[in-house]
């Protein structure tokens, strides 16, 4: 595929706001998970909450979009100078030449959950301050972002559960390759809500401890929230050291709504697709950021697919022990972690993982270490059997 450059990127998670906080936490092996005290939720589980989301105000002209998800969106955009880069790019290329492609699974559903507690006693109506379009609809964060920057190009939300914000990189890179746009704001935002906390608990997929990806005793996920963004442009003549998107691969499991294909067949198809798109072979990959949710089934299926394709030769880790599982934001969060690893010359470790499952047969990185990775592959898989793998590199 046409190489795409990542002109700017940023992430805000429970590790902190921005790249420096994220990299520092990963370097020191510090996770951001804490026991769940979110809202009125009473569940024995750990979560990754972003501090200060409720304090983030929205511009008065965009009050209709006010909800936790869009507050987190704005926090994320106004971090690491990312918003200024978007404004400068729109000024340089034209507001109609910058697309917006954002992933989410929850959008602002928390706002609807809260509104359902305030229904009119007589009619059952939702309160008049509830804005379906501004908070509930899956397009809400994308429309908010497009309006915040005054952009007039194409825009779409990708919502494929936990692969959503990996797939935005693929969708945007197609349009960049075709020349229908000249730049794209891509990313993902998901925020804590009752639906996902009680929903994953109902499936018995949440752990009562901080999650332990690829551990012999792993027993579930830690739900988290996050906002991560990247600014993509065609890389006609990238400067040395520029982070590039080299390939994307997408596939479906065609197996089950909430369980992965047991042999990881769909996962393998996505990784093979990304390698093919990048014109690379498995030994070209120096690091794999695993989906690694820490459920017994996910890590077993993904581990089999990675071992089948890469053997035990490629260092890999899941960073969800640090960030938690940010669901629809995970693809973008982990794309940013791959970019940090390529730029900062390290391999991320896996807080929480104590005894790596020997049955999975991988070179699993437990402690962050210095290295010089040139190419990193990132996996993201979602409910409904939706898989996406991305390959990032550094311009020579």
Partner 1 sequence: MSPTLSAWIDGVGFLAPGLPDWSVAQAVLRGEFPYVAAASLLPAPAVLPPAERRRASRVVKLTLAVGLEAAAAAGADPAQLATVFTASGADGHNCHALCEQLAGDDRQISPTRFHNSVHNAPAGYWGIATGSMAPTQVLCAFDGSFGAGLLDALGQVVADQQTTLLIAYDSEYPPPLFATRPLPDVAAVALLLSPRAGEGSLARITVGPTGDTPQSLADPALEGLRLALPALRALPLLQNLARRDSGSVVLEFLAPLHLEVAVEPC
Residue 28 is a catalytic residue: no
Strand ranges in 212-313 using DSSP code E only, listed in sequence order: 223-224, 226-234, 243-252, 287-289
Task: For partner 1, give the closer residue by CB, 167 or 218.
Answer: 167
Chain positions contacting partner 1, by CB under 8 A: 1, 96, 105, 109, 112-113, 116-117, 119, 123-126, 130-133, 136-139, 142-143, 146, 152-161, 167, 171, 174-175, 177-181, 194-195, 198-200, 202-203, 250-258, 265-266, 269, 273, 382-386
Task: For partner 1, give the closer residue by CB, 250 or 286.
Answer: 250
Integer Rg of the chain from CA? 20
Q: Which residues of 318-339 are buried (b: 16+ CB within 10 A; e: fewer)?
A: bbbbbbbbbbbbbbbbbbbbbb
- The β-bridge partners of 206 are 221
Compute the C-alpha angle 392/164/229, nearest 5°. 55
Q: Which member of 14, 36, 67, 162 is catalytic?
A: 162
Q: Which member of 67, 136, 325, 338 is catalytic?
A: 325
Shortest Å, Cβ 48 to partner 1? 20
Instruction: Say how many C-beta atoms besides its own lie within 10 A of residue 353's C-beta.
Output: 26
Q: Are 103 and 328 in contact (CB under 8 A)?
A: yes
End-to-end CA, the chain = 18
Shortest Å, Cβ 77 to partner 1? 19
**What DSSP character marks residue 209?**
S
Residue 388 is a catalytic residue: no
Helix (H) or strand (E) holding 321, with range, is helix 320-323
Task: For partner 1, give the closer residue by CB, 206 or 350.
Answer: 206
Task: For partner 1, give the closer residue by CB, 158 or 333.
Answer: 158
Task: For partner 1, give the closer residue by CB, 133 or 374.
Answer: 133
Shortest Å, Cβ 174 to partner 1? 4
Q: Are 386 and 327 in contact (CB under 8 A)?
A: no
CA–CA distance, 378 with 206 (Å, rounded to integer): 23
DSSP 177-208: HHTS-SEEEEEEEE---HHHHHHHHHTT-B-S
Task: For partner 1, give the closer residue by CB, 94 or 344.
Answer: 94
Shortest Å, Cβ 2 to partner 1? 8
- The β-bridge partners of 380 are 388
Instruction: Say how many C-beta atoms besides its own lie within 10 A of residue 255's C-beta.
Output: 15
CA–CA distance, 176 with 185 (Å, rounded to integer): 11
CA–CA distance, 243 with 4 (Å, rounded to integer): 9
Q: Are 204 and 210 in contact (CB under 8 A)?
A: no
Shortest Å, Cβ 133 to partner 1? 6
Q: Which member of 291, 316, 338, 388 is catalytic?
A: 291
Shortest Å, Cβ 270 to partner 1? 9
Shortest Å, Cβ 35 to partner 1? 18
Q: Are 76 and 12 in contact (CB under 8 A)?
A: yes
Task: For partner 1, give the closer residue by CB, 117 or 396.
Answer: 117
Angle between helix 82-93 and helix 68-77 axes, rounded to 10 deg: 80
Q: Which are the catalytic amino acids? A: 162, 291, 325
């Amino acid at each position: 595929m046409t190489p795409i450059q990542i002109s700017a990127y940023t992430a805000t998670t429970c590790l902190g706001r921005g790249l420096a906080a994220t990299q520092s936490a990963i370097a020191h092996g510090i996770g951001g998970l804490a026991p769940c005290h979110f809202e009125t939720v009473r569940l024995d589980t750990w979560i990754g909450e972003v501090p200060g989301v409720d304090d983030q105000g929205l511009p008065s002209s965009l009050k209709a979009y006010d909800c936790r998800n869009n507050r987190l969106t704005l926090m994320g955009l106004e971090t690491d100078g990312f918003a200024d880069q978007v404004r400068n790019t729109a000024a340089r290329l034209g507001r109609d030449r910058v697309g917006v492609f954002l992933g989410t699974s929850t959008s602002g559903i928390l706002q609807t959950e809260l509104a359902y507690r305030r229904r009119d006693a007589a009619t059952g109506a939702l309160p008049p301050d509830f804005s379906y379009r501004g908070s509930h609809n899956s397009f809400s964060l994308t429309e908010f972002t497009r309006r915040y920057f005054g952009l007039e190009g194409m825009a779409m939300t990708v919502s494929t559960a936990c692969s959503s914000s990996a797939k935005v990189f693929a969708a945007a890179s197609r349009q960049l390759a075709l020349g229908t746009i000249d730049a794209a704001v891509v990313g993902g935002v998901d925020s804590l809500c009752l639906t996902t906390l009680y929903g994953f608990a109902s499936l018995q997929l949440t752990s009562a401890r901080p999650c332990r990806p690829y551990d012999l005793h792993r027993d579930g996920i830690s739900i988290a929230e996050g906002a991560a963004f990247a600014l993509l442009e065609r890389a006609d003549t990238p400067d040395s050291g520029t982070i590039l998107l080299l390939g994307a691969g997408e596939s479906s499991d065609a197996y089950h709504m909430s369980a992965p294909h047991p042999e990881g067949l769909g996962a393998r198809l996505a990784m093979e697709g990304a390698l093919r798109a990048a014109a690379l072979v498995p030994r070209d990959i120096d690091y794999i950021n695993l989906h690694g949710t820490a459920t017994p089934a996910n890590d077993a299926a993904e581990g089999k697919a990675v071992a089948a394709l890469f053997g035990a030769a490629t260092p890999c880790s899941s960073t969800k022990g640090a960030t938690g599982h940010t669901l629809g934001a995970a693809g973008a969060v982990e794309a940013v972690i791959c970019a940090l690893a390529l730029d900062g010359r390290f391999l991320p470790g896996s807080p929480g993982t104590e005894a790596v499952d020997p049955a999975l047969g991988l070179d699993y990185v437990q402690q962050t270490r210095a290295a010089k990775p040139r190419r990193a592959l990132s996996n993201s898989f979602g409910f409904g059997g939706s898989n996406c793998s991305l390959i990032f590199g550094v311009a020579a």
